């Protein structure tokens, strides 16, 4: 049996870039180590979740790890809350929350005048009502996440975001009988929040400056934290995750993976990739499966910066040099969780390159790890096919039949 | 409509072998006829059952023929019994059975001193208890299969193999209420078997010679024979099977295929492959679909003998010369049921080459029938995709829509 190192370069897939002579970032990058692993490996293209699906990092990571998103992806609320670093527990109900502006009883701006920072406002709203704890954390600009923790909570309630302006702000309603209690505590929370926000010094100051107040909190994307069988139960491997991204760490925790912190891992493009790869390698002493998520490629894609994406790939590649020495007892798997083409600036449904490398593997003709290079490799798979292949190459799969 | 000849080379897939200059057996072999068929065909890679699955010959053949193993693979017992040539009927319960040695009330050897032949012992145990018929057949060394035939039988009973020595031999217990009757007749059978085996001349002689007696029969892998729709119902083709392997013949019989015996087909590597291929071709006069299983490649893989695997492929290839002449009215399909790499000595989850050849087919660029050669072919499929493609190329598929 071999150990497994799975490195997911977030948003790795790309499309032709004018500034890179029509090449993708992977094609343009100097990446001798990735190419070495591809040359000594089985490669192919992987469609995250399924062909043509524009998956998020959450649904994609779930499916790569073998958790069907149809079953375990319980809405944006829980996963956005994880993304903001709220530690979630089974039974919690989570929402995306947006701060809006109400003037004369009407919602006039669903983004509260593009307010920069709502963290003080969020903090002032945390409370406990009828035994239910309200945890709220701010995100970028007007965005936040709200988590309800308590017993008998339900996500069968209507959203309070009218998705329109010039309309009265909403209360929630139960969508089913089981949602009645949750709806009632949320409505108490909304009434209380309005009082607090209208009198909050941050908002008083904004009004003084002629800015719109962030005095309404609107909820949507209600979802329950999924209960998932642990990764080690599913696959018989103890496992850890290295990631600078709260969302990925949250998903890893849900799957029961230990979280390993790495010095210099920022979740940005300035991450110390040597530290990340070296920590992953040394973690393989204590863990049979280590998942690494590298966020920089995705950030460059969202920012539409092909040169930056190329440079992130080159820096990661340099850090990968030591991987060549662990192939005797380790299966190294490298892929992306989706494409974030610099020409598009967001996730697309394009397939992403994948490679499996270990000593003794049947390698294909591919010797360049990029979207086109791997297209003549062995595999054209969906992300849900990845773990069975991992189990097979790492000599962990049981024979099915005789 | 064309006739179909499906040749499955068992365990065909391979990995790089040092003694073959890092090549797979297929890559190293001289195989002009297979290459001719690949050049004049559509090719690709097929993952037996699904990507990364280490399928057995049983689950793989079921899925290739279009029978979902999740539904029809009912455990090792029934398929091992088929492998030993017991003709099975729907409702039968089958077990793997091992002869062990009990001395002074303790199991001392789970293989009965590596006894060579238990066929006389097996025969002496056949009986009928409470209306249930006990059919038993010996396999290699200590191995055998037991089949119970009767009404109201259940496979919800515990195994009687303790998987350990220095312990008392076991009786079975019902695992559910429905298993009570079956457990009671099996326990009567076990008591009776112990009396017979302890007094059996074969065992008395073994004791006299200082060898361990084969005086305990241990059961495991209980399973019910699946009821399957016949192949001819499913596909509208009358069909036959040529195989030297009882397991494959058993599966073919379950699917309602006629079994054709061929002189010189031993199920070993010394099979007369000319006879096999020629018989298959002449059987196409009476049958629209002929399945041939060639076992030699798998045996060489299990025995870790790359040169032998290469030589089997070369001999099969020579015998395939006449296939070139039947492509006008026949679709020839050649693949493996799984990989048995010589470097590993057992089944792996690697994909295997597949080719479809017939006159007028849209052929791809591939002209070498090996794992790497076909990787740029048309298909990257699962074995469950094979039959629809067969129906299409043989002009038997109904149009789906207008």
Q: Does B351 touch chain A (CB under 8 A)?
A: yes
Q: What is the pLDDT of residue B386?
A: 98
A399 domain residue, yes or no: no
Q: What is the pLDDT of residue A267?
A: 85
Provide CB contacts within 8 A for A59, sequence distance 6+.
A48, A49, A53, A69, A73
Question: How far apart are alpha carbons A33 and B315 in whole angstroms?
Answer: 41
pLDDT, tens digit, 9 for 90 and up, residues B55-74: 999 999 999 999 999 999 98
Check whether residue B369 and residue B234 sit in a common domain.
Answer: yes
CA distances to A268, B11, B312 from B315, rounded to whole Å, are 59, 16, 5
Contacts of A400 in chain B (CB under 8 A): 49, 53-56, 59, 69, 73
The arithmetic mean of pLDDT across residues B75-101, rounded, is: 88
Of the candidates A365, A397, A399, the beta carbon closest to that of B52 is on: A397
- The token pair at A400 is 């099915």
- The token pair at A249 is 């760490």
pLDDT, tens digit, 9 for 90 and up, residues A235-251: 999 999 999 988 899 89
Please state, as a whole number, how many other Cβ atoms lie within 10 Å of the Cβ of residue B123: 11
- The token pair at B264 is 């010189």
| Strand, coil or helix: B102 | strand
Provide CB contacts within 8 A for A332, sequence distance 6+.
A5, A7, A37, A41, A323, A326, A355, A356, A357, A358
Question: How far apart are alpha carbons A186 and A333 in whole angstroms?
Answer: 45
Q: In what order do the strands lie in the sheet with B239-243?
A: B258-259, B239-243, B289-294, B3-9, B330-336, B352-357, B41-47, B379-382
CB A136 within 8 A of CB A122: yes
B234 phi, psi to nearest 5 deg: -65, -40
Q: What is the pLDDT of residue A302?
A: 94
pLDDT, tens digit, 9 for 90 and up, residues A187-221: 999 999 999 999 999 999 999 999 999 999 999 98
Angle among Cα B274, B278, B282 to the nearest 5 degrees reads 170
Check whether residue B316 and residue B244 sit in a common domain.
Answer: yes
Q: Helix B180-199 and helix B201-208: axis angle, to 10°? A: 50
The nearest alpha carbon in chain B to A388 belongs to: B52
The arithmetic mean of pLDDT across residues A385-395, rounded, is: 98
Q: What is the pLDDT of residue B243?
A: 94
| Nearest CA-CA distance, residue A27 and chain B, Å | 20
Check whether residue B49 and residue B113 sit in a common domain.
Answer: no
Question: How far apart are alpha carbons A154 and A88 in whole angstroms?
Answer: 15
Place of tokens 């509208």: B236
**Which range among A333-337, B119-123, B126-130, B221-225 shows the weakest confidence by mean pLDDT?**
B221-225
- Model confidence at A101: pLDDT above 90: yes
CA B202 from centroid of its chain's CA atoms: 31
Q: What is the pLDDT of residue A369?
A: 98
- Model confidence at B75: pLDDT above 90: no
Question: How far apart are alpha carbons A61 and B89 in whole angstroms?
Answer: 46
Check whether residue A186 and residue A132 sit in a common domain.
Answer: yes
What sign results for the dihedral spanned by CA atoms A386, A390, A392, A398? negative
Q: With b meaning 16 or more CB within 10 Å and e meaning fewer, what string describes B144-166?
A: bbbbbbbeebbbbbbbbbeeeee
| Nearest CA-CA distance, residue A344 and chain B, Å | 29
Q: Please indicate whether, in this complex, the C-beta atoms of A401 and B343 are within 8 angstroms of each other.
A: no
Q: Please indicate whether, in this complex, the C-beta atoms of B346 and A399 are within 8 angstroms of each other.
A: yes
The nearest alpha carbon in chain A to B352 belongs to: A378
Check whether residue B157 and residue B270 sit in a common domain.
Answer: no
| Nearest CA-CA distance, residue B303 and chain A, Å | 16
Q: For testing the chain B interface, which of A42, A379, A401 should be mutated: the one with the most B CBs within 10 Å?
A: A401
Q: Please indicate whether, in this complex, the C-beta atoms of B45 and A378 are within 8 angstroms of each other.
A: yes
Domain boundary among A179, A204, A224: A224
Check whether residue A102 and residue A149 sit in a common domain.
Answer: yes
A339 domain residue, yes or no: yes
Question: How far apart are alpha carbons B92 and B222 in whole angstroms?
Answer: 10
The arithmetic mean of pLDDT across residues B223-246, rounded, is: 93
- Model confidence at B84: pLDDT above 90: no
**Which range among A337-351, B24-38, B247-261, B324-338 shows the weakest confidence by mean pLDDT?**
B247-261
- The token pair at A62 is 């779930």
A400 domain residue, yes or no: no
Q: Does B51 touch chain A (CB under 8 A)?
A: yes
- Model confidence at A90: pLDDT above 90: no
Domain boundary among B206, B224, B242: B224
Check whether residue B240 and residue B369 sit in a common domain.
Answer: yes
B319 domain residue, yes or no: yes
- Model confidence at B87: pLDDT above 90: no
Pairing assessment for the beta strands A379-382 and A41-47 based on DSSP bridges: parallel
Check whether residue B278 and residue B374 sit in a common domain.
Answer: yes
- Among A226, A193, A280, A257, smallest CA distance to A72 is for A226
CB B337 within 8 A of CB B57: yes
Confidence of residue B372 (pLDDT cuts 50, 70, 90): very high
pLDDT, tens digit, 9 for 90 and up, residues B303-349: 999 999 999 999 999 999 999 999 999 999 999 999 999 999 999 99
Q: What is the pLDDT of residue A73?
A: 93
Q: What is the pLDDT of residue B365?
A: 96
Domain boundary among A224, A239, A265: A224
CA distances to A250, B138, B218, B321 from B56, rounded to whole Å, are 38, 21, 23, 29
- Model confidence at A361: pLDDT above 90: yes
Check whether residue B191 and residue B242 sit in a common domain.
Answer: no
Q: What is the pLDDT of residue A65?
A: 98
Question: How far apart are alpha carbons A48 and B379 in whole angstroms?
Answer: 20
List the CATH number of the domain containing A267: 3.40.720.10
- The token pair at A277 is 């790869």
Check whether residue A58 and residue A106 sit in a common domain.
Answer: no
Q: Number of structural domains, chain A?
A: 2
Partnered with residue B135 across adjacent β-strands are B147
Check whether residue A87 and residue A157 sit in a common domain.
Answer: yes
pLDDT, tens digit, 9 for 90 and up, residues B136-186: 999 888 999 999 999 999 999 999 998 889 999 999 999 999 999 999 999
Can you list the positions of beta strands (E) in B244-387?
258-259, 289-294, 330-336, 352-357, 379-382
B263 domain residue, yes or no: yes
Complex prediction ipTM? 0.86
B401 domain residue, yes or no: no
B402 domain residue, yes or no: no
Question: How far apart are alpha carbons A115 and B275 in whole angstroms?
Answer: 83
A112 domain residue, yes or no: yes
**Which range among A290-299, B265-274, B389-398 shows the weakest confidence by mean pLDDT?**
B265-274
Which residues constitute the domain of residue A354? Answer: 3-73+227-393
Check whether residue A163 and residue A23 sit in a common domain.
Answer: no
């Amino acid at each position: 049996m071999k150990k497994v190192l799975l490195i997911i370069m977030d948003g790795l897939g790309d499309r032709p870039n004018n500034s890179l002579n029509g090449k993708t970032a992977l094609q343009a990058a100097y990446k001798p180590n990735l190419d070495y692993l591809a040359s000594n490996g089985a490669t192919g293209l992987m469609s995250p979740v399924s062909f043509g699906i524009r998956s998020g990092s959450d649904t994609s990571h779930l499916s790569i790890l073998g958790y069907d998103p149809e079953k375990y992806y319980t809405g944006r609320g829980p996963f956005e809350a994880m993304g903001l670093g709220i530690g979630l527990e089974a039974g919690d109900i989570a929402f995306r929350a947006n701060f809006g502006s109400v003037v004369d009883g009407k919602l006039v701006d669903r983004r509260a005048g593009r307010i920069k920072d709502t963290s003080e406002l969020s903090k002032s709203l945390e409370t406990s009502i009828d035994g239910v704890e309200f945890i709220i954390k701010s995100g970028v600009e007007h965005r936040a996440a709200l988590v309800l923790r308590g017993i008998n909570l339900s996500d069968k309630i209507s959203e309070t975001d009218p998705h329109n302006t010039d309309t009265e702000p909403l209360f929630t309603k139960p969508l089913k009988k089981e949602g009645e209690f949750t709806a009632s505590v949320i409505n108490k929370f909304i009434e209380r929040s309005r009082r607090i926000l209208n009198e909050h010094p941050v908002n008083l100051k904004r009004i003084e400056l002629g800015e719109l107040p962030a005095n309404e909190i609107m909820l949507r994307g209600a979802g329950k934290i999924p209960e998932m069988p642990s990764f080690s139960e599913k696959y018989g491997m103890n496992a850890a995750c290295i990631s600078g991204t709260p969302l990925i760490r949250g998903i890893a925790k849900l799957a029961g993976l230990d979280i390993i912190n790495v010095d210099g891992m920022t979740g940005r493009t300035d991450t110390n990739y040597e530290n990340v790869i070296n920590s992953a390698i040394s973690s393989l002493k204590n863990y049979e499966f280590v998942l690494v998520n590298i966020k920089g490629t995705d950030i460059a894609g969202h920012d539409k910066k092909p040169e930056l994406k190329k440079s992130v790939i080159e820096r990661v590649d340099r850090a990968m040099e030591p991987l060549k020495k662990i192939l005797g007892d380790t299966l190294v798997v490298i892929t992306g969780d989706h494409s974030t083409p610099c020409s598009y600036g967001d996730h697309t449904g394009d397939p992403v390159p994948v490679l499996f490398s270990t000593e003794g593997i049947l390698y294909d003709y591919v010797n360049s790890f990029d979207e086109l290079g791997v297209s003549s490799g062995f595999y054209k798979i969906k992300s849900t096919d990845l773990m069975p292949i991992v189990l097979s190459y790492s000599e962990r799969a049981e024979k099915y039949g005789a």
